[in-house]
Structure 1
Amino acid sequence: MRVAMISLHTSPLHQPGSGDAGGMNVYVLQTARHLARRGVAVDIFTRATRMGQGEIVEVEPNLRVINIIAGPYEGLAKEALPTQLAAFAGGMLQWEHCHDVSYDLIHSHYWLSGQVGWLLRDVWKVPLVHTAHTLAAVKNAHRSAEDTPESEARRICEQQLVDNADVLVVNTDQERADLVEHYDADESIIRVIPPGADTELFTPGSDRATERTRRELGIPLHAKVIAFVGRLQTFKGPQVLIRATAELMRRDPGRALCVVICGGPSGQHATPEEYAQLARELGVERRIRFLNPRPPQELVALYQAADIVAVPSYNESFGLVAIEAQASGTPVVAARVGGLPLAVAEGETGILVDGHEPEAWADALGTLLDDDETRIAMGEAAVRRAASFSWCAAAERLEELYEDALSVGVADCPQRFASGKER
């Protein structure tokens, strides 16, 4: 089986935590790796963003990343990428022709990739599997007051994909419900496949390793540490954690607390400075450390060094950070949104918080920081929880889904028009 994966707007080889790179990058790369190890040949098509990176990157046997030239290498904002969909689709068609390769199935990730996949599905006459990862209607329903709403154009494009894809893959039952509620999706074509975590890399650390990491980061050994890992954007909620930190310190000015925020800015006008400025305005700048994004091999040490990992997002399709943190033996305090209630076992491996008010977050964080016995027990249970999610299992289920899609074949497009499904 040969699969064309499409990740147009961000390469799976980019560093998660900055720009447009995040959990989706991890998902695409890890599922592709494990599919390749099962004998499925996977080519991931992404947009070339710098000269000299090469057209083909051989990641491992059966897995390649193909860099397609579509627009300028640099300086093209994510908001402008829809102007390059035709160029990207043309680049993929040229690649197929020049390299004399054919694909059995297309798996697109995110709506921009889905639009390209929809076109190529009908050209190549192969099934289209689509994973949205995030949805405009859901983001708009859960966004904070200061966050920029997603465009109606994006929502319309997503609706077209829901109506025309052969299979829709989601991470959780909540995502399936969201597709039905907001996009009137046909439940019969939706498949729920939970993501995983690299539980061989993300493991609990020793006390000595934790002390070494804290010394390297300049964190007092006696301080309690809360970590945030992710892109610095309003939707991910770093401002929620900063305000909760200020509330914790207002309640107990002598508290030995250090908050580590690891990530880079995401969005056209985003900068790390706005979050540093918020910390200064609230008087907690000495309590908060900002770190640049780190590769997984270094990120595990941060998870291990933290007493708690906070995930204050306004919505998460699943929450890979929550799983990685738990695999590393660290309990999680997360917002009760999206797939996070599945990732975090409330009361066992962490705490779920309703809403994003600083007082509620300070309550949850303070309770766990002050209860060493419960926090340590949660960390031990968290490792067991994370072990139930694996990339191997996700890839196995994806391969089965691909085989089912191939056995059914491509949907009859004229019938779709006749039935009124096209919008």
Structure 2
Amino acid sequence: MDRPVRIAFLSEHASPAALLGGVDAGGQNVYVDEVSRNLARRGYIVDVFTRRDNPTAPEIIDWARGVRIVHLPAGPTQPLLKDELWPYMPEFRDAFLRFMLREDLRYDLLHGNFWMSGWVAAELSQRLHIPSVQIFHAMGKTKKKYQQEVDTSPDDRIQVEMEVIRTVDRLIAQCPGEYHELVDDYGADPERVITIPSAVNTRVFRPVAREEARRRIGLAQDEFVIVYIGRVIPRKDPRNIVRALARLQSWAESVECTRKIRLLIVGGETVEPDPQATPEIGELASLARELGVLEQVLFVGKRSQDTLRYYYSAGNVAVTTPWYEPFGLTPLEAMACGRPVIGSAVGGITSTIVDSETGFLVPPRDPEQLATQLYQFLMEPALTEQMGQAARLRVEQEYTWPIVAMRTASLYETLLATRTKQARKYGVKGKHGTIRNEAEQLTGQGERFAG
């Protein structure tokens, strides 16, 4: 190809520009941001398409060299929960087509993120004869299994996921567990599923001396600090950590350990912790009060990515014990900051944490076992340092975004080369004029998959 490859990233609810820690801002935002930036460093041109949820936001943001964020109109121009967005996906698709036509652009490949953008990518891929890659970030069947009645996904979700899996050219799984979900639960062709683990930015997330980090965020130097960073929602189960804190405090008192124990909770919908905006903060405060540990819990609120290393580094140990986690980036962030992690043995966490080497894996919803591992770190400071160093080394060797971009680029190139051979052999449509004609015909149709 005599020009740079142009990629359309579709991410309807997760923009790279969103501040993390909110109810629908998390790992997908990071993935889209980091993969697009690192692909651009490899010579690709990437446009990230996300839904306009702010009337004052510009249509196009020059986000990084080779990367733009494009806000497409789809539904009300205001924040909505992601589970409310499904009815607006035909509008999102058509807005993409109008933008492509207006700018006279040809995209060489579509990269869908999450099931709704996956539907858009599958539709466009079939109609415009553009190859497509899909990463789900979370699967509907698994979410329903773990969340049951609290799962707010639209009724169409699983059927749409099945259709997307049958339609797109390649599927990315972030860990072995997700590979098996796609193949075993959804019947995906194993030859079309590629496992590419997600990663962490090791320049942003790096070790900071604990003393310096604590001075910066205003913590006492002699405390034993447990850090939770992430979305403050029931599925992430920070209540489990509060319950473990109460047990840990009781055990410490029984052996006359006078060291103060602190739990740092970073995340929420607002910079200042607000139980109205983030109801789970109120639930956690009530639980901590009931268990007699409220004074030991510090709610920090939402923080930008470039300051989170100070919060991780201020801790002795990071904890994340969700009931369900497709991959989980926060364990990698903590590990990159040189801190051991205690994580629940679910989803991708089982592949990132090496049990008894970079931290510990514990059953979800088991505060007793979590408290047991916290107690071990409290009583064995040398173990904390040893595991923290091993954690950083593991990230450097296995989980960096340049590695992810290299593997993703290899997938793209293989797929594009295959499509080019097919086009030459069978005369598959692909000329710019043909794509433009079909885009013009499709615009405004508002079609959906059955269901």
TM-score (norm 1): 0.92
| Contact 1:312–1:335 (8 Å) recurs in 2 | yes
Quick check: 1:38 aligned with 2:26? Answer: no
| Contact 1:335–1:354 (8 Å) recurs in 2 | yes
User: Against the structure 1 CA distance between its residues 80 and 268, is the aligned structure 2 distance closer, same or farther, given a 3 Å change threshold?
Assistant: farther
Q: For residue 25 of structure 1, what is the aligned residue in structure 2?
A: 29
Q: For residue 417 of structure 1, what is the aligned residue in structure 2?
A: none
Amino acid at match of 2:400: S
User: Against the structure 1 CA distance between its residues 341 and 190, is the aligned structure 2 distance closer, same or farther, given a 3 Å change threshold?
Assistant: same
Where do residues 88-107 of structure 1 align in structure 2 (5 Å cutoff)?
Answer: 88-107=92-111
CA separation in 1, counterparts of 2:203 and 2:151?
38
Residue deviations 1:142-198 (CA, integer Å, cap 9, x gap): 33x784464542112111111211100011111101112221111110001111211
Q: For residue 331 of structure 1, what is the aligned residue in structure 2?
A: 340
CA separation in 1, counterparts of 2:289 and 2:151?
24
Amino acid at match of 1:408: T
User: Against the structure 1 CA distance between its residues 270 and 151, is the aligned structure 2 distance closer, same or farther, given a 3 Å change threshold?
Assistant: farther
CA separation in 1, counterparts of 2:116 and 2:21?
20
User: Against the structure 1 CA distance between its residues 171 and 99, is the aligned structure 2 distance closer, same or farther, given a 3 Å change threshold?
Assistant: same
CA separation in 1, counterparts of 2:102 and 2:214?
54
Q: For residue 376 of structure 2, what is the aligned residue in structure 1?
A: 367
CA separation in 2, counterparts of 1:85 and 1:373?
52
CA separation in 2, counterparts of 1:91 and 1:380?
48
CA separation in 2, counterparts of 1:195 and 1:76?
26
Q: For residue 415 of structure 1, what is the aligned residue in structure 2?
A: none
| Contact 1:57–1:65 (8 Å) recurs in 2 | yes
User: Against the structure 1 CA distance between its residues 62 and 210, is the aligned structure 2 distance closer, same or farther, given a 3 Å change threshold?
Assistant: closer
Q: CA deviation at 1:278?
A: 2.0
| Contact 1:249–1:255 (8 Å) recurs in 2 | no
Q: CA deviation at 1:211?
A: 3.6
Q: For residue 89 of structure 2, what is the aligned residue in structure 1?
A: 85
User: Against the structure 1 CA distance between its residues 255 and 137, is the aligned structure 2 distance closer, same or farther, given a 3 Å change threshold?
Assistant: farther
Where do residues 214-225 of structure 1 align in structure 2 (5 Å cutoff)?
Answer: 216-217=217-218, 219-225=219-225
CA separation in 1, counterparts of 2:306 and 2:329?
15
Q: For residue 273 of structure 2, what is the aligned residue in structure 1?
A: none
What SS is found at the alignment partner of 2:111? strand
Q: CA deviation at 1:140?
A: 2.4
CA separation in 2, counterparts of 1:262 and 1:58?
29
User: Against the structure 1 CA distance between its residues 31 and 80, is the aligned structure 2 distance closer, same or farther, given a 3 Å change threshold?
Assistant: same
- Specify the structure having the higher radius of gyration (Cα): 2
CA separation in 1, counterparts of 2:410 and 2:185?
28
Amino acid at match of 1:385: R
CA separation in 1, counterparts of 2:278 and 2:371?
29
Ranges in structure 1 where 5+ consecutive residues have no aligned partner: 413-421
Amino acid at match of 2:142: V
Q: For residue 432 of structure 2, what is the aligned residue in structure 1?
A: none
| Contact 1:51–1:73 (8 Å) recurs in 2 | yes
Q: For residue 50 of structure 1, what is the aligned residue in structure 2?
A: 54
User: Against the structure 1 CA distance between its residues 36 and 315, is the aligned structure 2 distance closer, same or farther, given a 3 Å change threshold?
Assistant: same
CA separation in 2, counterparts of 1:241 and 1:147?
21
Amino acid at match of 1:173: P
| Contact 1:211–1:221 (8 Å) recurs in 2 | yes
Ranges in structure 2 where 5+ consecutive residues have no aligned partner: 271-275, 424-449
Residue deviations 1:102-153 (CA, integer Å, cap 9, x gap): 101100000011111111112221111000000111122233x784464542
Q: CA deviation at 1:370?
A: 1.5
Q: 1:288 aligns with which of 293, 297, 313?
A: 297
CA separation in 1, counterparts of 2:151 and 2:94?
32
CA separation in 1, counterparts of 2:25 and 2:205?
20
Q: For residue 284 of structure 2, what is the aligned residue in structure 1?
A: 275
Quick check: 1:404 aligned with 2:433? Answer: no
CA separation in 2, counterparts of 1:406 and 1:64?
22
What SS is found at the alignment partner of 1:272? helix
CA separation in 1, counterparts of 2:154 and 2:280?
22
Q: CA deviation at 1:347?
A: 1.0
What SS is found at the alignment partner of 1:176? helix
Q: For residue 4 of structure 1, what is the aligned residue in structure 2?
A: 8
Quick check: 1:305 aligned with 2:314? Answer: yes
Q: CA deviation at 1:285?
A: 1.0
TM-score (norm 2): 0.86
Amino acid at match of 2:7: V
Pairs aligned (count): 410
What SS is found at the alignment partner of 1:49? coil
